[in-house]
Chains A and B, each alone.
Chain A
């Protein structure tokens, strides 16, 4: 395996690990607002590392340019979607847990 291949493997696998951590957080967190923070781990570090790994694998080609566009799309669009979710949830009266304890469900 070449050096670039090893680097790509490392980035891809690390990105996968952060995606799984984010998804575990999505299940473990006690209320909607805290779950949102877990999901943003997937959208930033998970997606970023996976796409970085693919760019290393592709080298300086048109495919990497498309991957950069994909990364920019995720980085510009995901905070907008997250903010929209948070705002509508707040307006609809979903209360954040003030001091969340383990295993407690949001009211």
Chain B
């Protein structure tokens, strides 16, 4: 099932990138998608990590919230940059991720980094070391709202 879905996604990707609808190119795309899935299966890459289609539903709920967070914190960082006094207070903070799977922790670490103002410096199994540009940013991350949302993202497939 996962292989079929991977092949279909690859074929859609081919069509979007090529933009030509001649029979030859469509056939070549289908053959390429099939060949890639066959090779990926031999390499054992078609697993929940390689083709995480299970997360589509929760991603649709999580991404809009993440987008709003990114805009808010990008605006805060922009205000810091244009402020003549440069009122930054760089802080290193350790947070404990509550996700159980590697995918969940990667999503959490990537979300922290994608949000301007916080960057995951070390992403371990038990603990993340996060550099925040302001003390307030570090404190709001330590409050754990994003952590809870990623855990929910991971849990509801």
Note whether A and B form a binding pair.
Answer: yes
Residues of A in contact with B (beta carbons under 8 Å apart): 18, 21-22, 24-25, 28-31, 33-34, 36-38, 40-41, 44-45, 48, 62, 65-66, 69, 75-76, 78-80, 82-83, 86-87, 90, 96-100, 102
Given A25-B77, A28-B86, A69-B16, also A86-B110 (CB < 8 A): no
B19 and A62 within 8 A (CB): yes
B119 x A86 contact (CB < 8 A): yes
Given contacts A24-B81, A37-B119, 4 further A-B contacts (CB under 8 A): A29-B81, A31-B90, A66-B17, A100-B86
Contact yes or no, B90 A45, CB < 8 A:
no
Chain A residue with Cβ nearest B135: A99
A44–chain B nearest beta-carbon distance, Å: 5
**Is A98's CB under 8 angstroms from B90's CB?**
yes
Q: Let me know if A34 and B133 touch, CB within 8 A.
A: yes
Contact B82–A21 (Cβ < 8 Å) = yes
Contact among B75, B78, B90, B116 for A33, CB-based, below 8 A: B90
A34 touches B88 (CB 8 A): yes
Contact B78 A80 (CB under 8 A): no
In the assembled complex, which residues on chain B have CB atoms less than 8 Å from the CB atom of A36? 119, 131
Which 4 pairs across A and B sit closest by C-beta, in order of nearness? A25-B81, A79-B113, A45-B74, A40-B116
Assess the A90–B81 pair: CB atoms within 8 A: no
Closest chain-B Cβ to A58's Cβ sits at a distance in Å of 13
In the complex, 7 of the A-B residue pairs with CB atoms within 8 angstroms, ordered by the A residue number, are A21-B81, A30-B86, A40-B116, A41-B77, A86-B113, A87-B121, A100-B89
- Whether A99 and B90, one on each chain, are in contact in the complex, defined by CB atoms closer than 8 angstroms, is yes
Give chain A residues whose Cβ lies under 8 Å from the Cβ of B113.
Answer: 40, 79, 82-83, 86
Q: Does the CB pair A96–B114 fall under 8 Å?
A: no
Do A80 and B110 have beta carbons less than 8 Å apart?
yes
| Given A44-B70, A86-B120: A38 and B81 interface contact (C-beta under 8 Å) | yes
Query: In whole angstroms, how far apart are the Cα atoms of A29 and B16 in the complex?
Result: 40
Distance in Å from the Cβ of A64 to the closest Cβ of chain B? 10
Tell me whether A40 and B90 are in contact in the complex, defined as CB-CB below 8 angstroms, given that A45-B78, A65-B16 are known contacts. Answer: no
- Flag whether B109 is at the interface (Cβ < 8 A): yes
Query: Could you tell me if B116 and A62 are in contact, using CB atoms closer than 8 angstroms?
Result: no
A31, A34, A38, A65: residue with the most chain B Cβ atoms closer than 10 Å: A34
Q: Which chain B positions have C-beta within 8 A of A22?
A: 78, 81
Residues of B within 8 A of A99 (CB): 89-90
Residues A18 and B16 in contact in the complex (CB < 8 Å), given A24-B81, A33-B131, A79-B114: no
Which A residues are CB-close (under 8 A) to B115? 40, 44
